[in-house]
């Protein structure tokens, strides 16, 4: 690794999906990565991007999210091989309480030309799923949204591919360099101070995933946020909170989940209100509940997750090291193993009696969420671009492309709905009936 420079045009903090994507796209649009420097306190893949399940989907109730995802899927599709992107599609399989929301997602996907199919009715949904998997048996389902685009990536391999593209254009990446201060003699940041030296710069991009609260403090931004509600009342919430994402892998051959036609299936997300029983026939939950899963060679089995839970600790405590000894370690435990495997068996006969094959490893992780659980993409202190994706973000590879354009002075309409001022102005995103904070 080369010596840390003392000056740069743009310093990007964090070598996760957003930092690397911004660097690559900035270098690409300029024809060279000269003057673009990434610093990471550990290395690429050390953060959320290195543990993400890697699902890429468009299924969002919020129009602004959907348009941003369609843009991002387009970026994934530019080089599936380098990004280790598997365009198998995505299915949202839902109970009646979600049918209208998902129906409106479908209609708006048609309006923006995002290819998908929407099946309605219990019998019709069951038949659609049984045509794909003859052992399909999920109960309480009354709609299926089948997105033909999207899919999933192998997280570490995909990041390595993106990193190689950035480095090939001359972007410098410095691992083991921790940012401790943003120097601000006036209103703008003129240097990034690290434990290895100071880099003077014209632009800063902050892509630090779940560590964002620390940088929020460095920028003197508020730890609580005032939100103008639709009722005209101003509510105040912590700016950052943490959710623990429960994910795991059933240790079977990934090809256990082939379709009847012998293909790898779309990523599957099931939300139902049917009661859930475990292998012993005991009630796990009355519902509603939701799971997602996919065959995954990288994780070595059927990988997926369950509804996350809120971490009951102040952001200042968790933000120090979300993946260190302070994190709820393990994020997953017996409750998750039991529920998730029961849910898999609820959906497919082939998983009955397989609960014991769950891998008892350290999986899942923490996500840092904004006051409304949607991203904050904004510029502070004149030249400091913050990419705080509220844990939506592996799939959002296209955000870096938009931020790169903004660094070069071109405001991007797709990013506008994610400005921090939306809270004070009451320009909030619509809220769905999904049990997940990111749908
Ligand atoms: C278990 C789990 C599963 C997920 N699954 C999905 C999914 O399927 N699909 C999806 O779209 N999203 C998913 N996500 C969300 C997604 O992983 C994140 O939104 C995204 O990876 C965040 O990327 P990032 O580049 O902002 O941050 P990160 O990948 O966290 O990278 C931040 C980097 O900043 C560095 N850093 C931090 N502080 C400093 C400092 N002071 N100085 C220098 N460097 C610093 C860190 O070392 C790290 O490498 C998941 C998240 C989790 C936790």
Over residues 282-334, the pLDDT tens digits come to: 999 998 999 999 999 999 999 999 989 999 888 888 888 887 755 666 678 89
Q: Is residue 228 part of a domain?
A: no
Distance between CA atoms of residues 66 and 68, nearest Å = 5
Tell me how far CA of residue 163 lies from CA of 36, 212, 330, in angstroms.
13, 21, 29
Is 233 part of a structural domain of the chain? no
Domain co-membership, 159 together with 64: yes
Nearest protein CA to atom 21 of ligand 1, as residue: 49
- For residue 212, the CA-to-ligand 1 centroid distance in Å is 10
- Residue 229 in domain: no
Last-in-domain residue among 369, 386, 406: 369
State if residue 393 touches ligand 1 by the CB under 6 angstroms criterion: yes
For a ligand 1 pocket test, name from 11, 14, 20, 403 the mutation site with the most ligand atoms within 8 angstroms of its C-beta: 14
Answer yes or no: is 190 within a domain. Answer: yes
> What domain range includes position 392?
1-86+150-222+372-427+435-439
Please state, in angstroms and as integers, the Cα–Cα distance from residue 303 to each residue in 65, 88, 356, 364, 376, following that order: 25, 15, 15, 11, 29
Q: Which of 24, 208, 331 to mutate to test the pocket of ligand 1 (most atoms within 8 A of CB)?
A: 208
Does ligand 1 come within 6 angstroms of the Cβ of 51?
yes
- Whether residues 129 and 246 share a domain: the answer is yes
Q: Supply the CATH number for residue 160's domain.
A: 3.50.50.60
Tell me, yes or no, whether 364 and 376 share the same domain.
no
393 Cα nearest atom in ligand 1: 19
Same structural domain for residues 354 and 379? no
**Distance from Cα 398 to the centre of ligand 1, integer Å:** 15
Q: CB atoms < 10 A from the CB of 3, how many?
A: 9
Cβ(73) – ligand 1 distance below 6 Å: no
Q: Give the global pTM.
A: 0.95
Question: How many degrees, rounded to 5, is the angle at CA 438 between CA 435 and CA 439?
Answer: 65
**Same structural domain, 210 and 72:** yes
Residue 231 lies in a domain: no
Ligand 1 atom closest to the CA of 46, numbered from 1? 49
Tell me which of 369, 384, 411 is where a domain ends.
Answer: 369
CATH of the domain at 144: 3.30.9.10
Residues 156 and 127 in one domain: no
Number of structural domains (the chain) is: 2
| Per-residue model confidence (pLDDT) at position 202 | 98
Q: What pLDDT does 327 receive?
A: 66
Mutate to test the pocket of ligand 1, among 155, 160, 394, 401 (most ligand atoms within 8 A of CB): 394
Domain termination residue (choose one: 348, 369, 390)? 369
* pLDDT for residue 361: 85
Q: How far apart are CA 86 and CA 298, in angstroms?
A: 12
Looking at the structure, tell me whether residues 307 and 294 fall in a common domain. yes
Is the predicted pLDDT of residue 191 greater than 60, yes or no? yes
In a domain, 133, yes or no: yes
143, 264: one domain: yes
Instruction: Let me know: does 335 contact 342? Beta carbons within 8 Å.
Output: no
Task: Find out whether the beta carbon of 391 lies less than 6 Å from any atom of ligand 1.
Answer: yes
Q: Is the bond leading into 104 cis (omega within 30 degrees of zero)? A: no
Judge if 344 and 196 occupy the same domain.
no
Same domain, 279 and 413: no
Substitution site in 22, 37, 48 for ligand 1 pocket (most atoms within 8 Å of beta carbon) = 48
Are both 276 and 169 inside the same structural domain?
no
Average pLDDT of the residues in 71-91: 97
Ligand 1 within 6 A of CB of 58 = no
The mean of the pLDDT values for the chain is: 94
In a domain, 135, yes or no: yes
Residue of 149, 22, 155 lying closest to 77 (CA atoms): 149
Ligand 1 pocket member 39 (CB < 6 A): yes
Residue range 10-64, pLDDT digits in tens: 999 999 999 999 999 999 999 999 999 999 999 999 999 999 999 998 888 888 9
Q: Is the pLDDT of residue 71 over 60?
A: yes
**281 and 330 belong to one structural domain:** yes
- Distance from Cα 312 to the centre of ligand 1, integer Å: 20
Is residue 227, in this structure, part of any structural domain at all?
Answer: no
Tell whether the model's pLDDT for residue 370 goes beyond 90: yes
């Amino acid at each position: 690794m080369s010596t840390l420079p003392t000056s740069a045009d743009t310093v990007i903090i964090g070598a996760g999906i957003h930092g690397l994507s911004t660097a690559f796209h900035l270098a690409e649009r300029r024809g060279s990565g000269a003057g673009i420097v990434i610093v990471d306190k550990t290395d690429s893949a050390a953060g959320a991007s290195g543990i993400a399940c890697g699902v890429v989907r468009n299924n969002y109730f919020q129009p602004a999210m959907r348009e941003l995802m369609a843009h991002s899927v387009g970026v994934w599709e530019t080089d599936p091989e380098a990004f280790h992107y598997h365009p198998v599609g995505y299915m949202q399989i839902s109970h009646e309480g979600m049918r209208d929301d998902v129906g409106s997602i479908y209609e708006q996907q048609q309006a923006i030309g995002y290819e998908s199919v929407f099946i309605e009715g219990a019998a019709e949904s069951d038949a659609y799923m049984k045509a794909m998997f003859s052992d399909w048996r999920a109960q309480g389902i009354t709609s299926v949204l089948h997105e033909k685009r999207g899919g999933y990536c192998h997280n570490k391999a995909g990041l390595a591919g993106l990193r190689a593209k950035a480095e090939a254009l001359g972007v410098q990446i410095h691992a083991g360099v921790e940012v401790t201060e943003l120097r601000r003699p006036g209103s703008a940041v003129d240097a990034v101070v690290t434990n290895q030296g100071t880099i003077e710069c014209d632009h800063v991009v902050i892509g630090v995933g779940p560590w964002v609260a620390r940088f929020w403090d460095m920028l003197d931004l508020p730890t609580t946020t005032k939100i103008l509600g639709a009722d005209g009342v101003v509510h105040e919430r912590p700016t950052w909170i943490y959710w623990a994402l429960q994910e795991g892998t059933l240790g079977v051959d990934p090809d256990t989940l082939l379709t009847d036609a012998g293909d790898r299936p779309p990523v599957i997300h099931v939300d139902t209100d049917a009661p859930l029983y475990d292998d012993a026939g005991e009630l796990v939950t009355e519902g509603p509940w939701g799971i997602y899963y996919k065959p995954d060679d990288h994780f070595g089995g059927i990988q997926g997750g369950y509804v996350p839970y809120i971490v009951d600790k102040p952001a200042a405590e968790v933000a120090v090291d979300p993946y260190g000894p302070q994190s709820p370690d393990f994020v997953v435990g017996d409750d998750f193993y039991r529920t998730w495997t029961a849910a898999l068996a609820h959906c497919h006969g082939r998983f009955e009696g397989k609960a014991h094959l769950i891998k008892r490893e350290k999986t899942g992780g923490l996500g840092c969420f904004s006051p409304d659980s949607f991203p904050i993409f904004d510029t502070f202190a004149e030249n400091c671009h913050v990419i705080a994706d509220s844990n939506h973000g592996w799939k959002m590879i296209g955000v870096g492309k938009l931020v790169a354009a903004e660094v070069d002075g071109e405001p991007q309409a797709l990013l506008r709905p994610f400005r921090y001022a939306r809270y004070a102005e009451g320009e909030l995103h619509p809220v769905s009936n999904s049990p997940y904070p990111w749908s």
